[in-house]
Amino acid sequence: MRTQLPLLLVAVAFPAASIAQGIFNGPHKEPLTSASYGQAGYADIKNLQDLANEYFNTICRQNGRDNGCYKYVDIQGQQDHNWPQRKVEVMDVAQLKYDVKQKITRPSLVLSQDYCNSLSKDGSFNFEKSTTTSTTCTWSVTEGLSYQNSVSVKVSIPELAETSFSESITLSMSSTQSQSTTHTDNWQISTTVPVPSQTYVNATYTVIESDFDTAWTADVTIRGCANVWFNDKIDGHWEWWHGVTMVYANVPGFSCYSQGNDPCTDQYCTYQAKGTYYGIGGAAAHLDTDHKPCIKDAEASFLE
226, 227, 233, 236 alpha-carbon torsion, rounded to 10°: 80
Q: In order of start, what are the domains of the chain with their CATH numbers?
A: 95-217+277-293 (2.170.15.10)
pLDDT tens profile 100-117: 999 999 888 888 988 898
User: Which helix (H) or strand (E) segment is 133 a member of?
Assistant: strand 123-146
Q: Which of 25, 21, 77, 23 is nearest to 49 (CA)?
A: 77
Is 208's pLDDT higher than 70?
yes
The whole-angstrom separation of Cα 285 and Cα 282 is 11
The whole-angstrom separation of Cα 244 and Cα 75 is 10
pLDDT tens profile 47-88: 999 999 999 999 999 999 999 999 999 999 999 989 989 999
Half-sphere exposure of residue 60, counting CA atoms within 13 Å on the CB side? Answer: 21
pLDDT tens profile 138-176: 999 999 999 987 899 999 999 888 778 889 999 999 999
Instruction: Provide DSSP, 199-245.
Output: EEEEEEEEEEEEEEEEEEEEEEEEE-EEEEEEEEEETTEEEEEEEHH
Q: Which of 216, 206, 217 is nearest to 105 (CA)?
A: 206
Q: For residue 161, what are the β-bridge partners?
A: none
The whole-angstrom separation of Cα 75 and Cα 61 is 21
Q: Give 16: exposed, middle or buried? Use CB within 10 Å, 0-12, 13-18, 19+.
A: exposed
Report how far Cα 103 is from the mean position of its chain's Cα atoms: 21
**What pTM did the predictor assign?**
0.79
pLDDT tens profile 26-39: 778 888 899 999 99
Residue 3 is predicted with a pLDDT of 38
Q: Which of 220, 224, 272, 230 is nearest to 245 (CA)?
A: 224
Q: Let me know: does 230 contact 70? Beta carbons within 8 Å.
A: yes
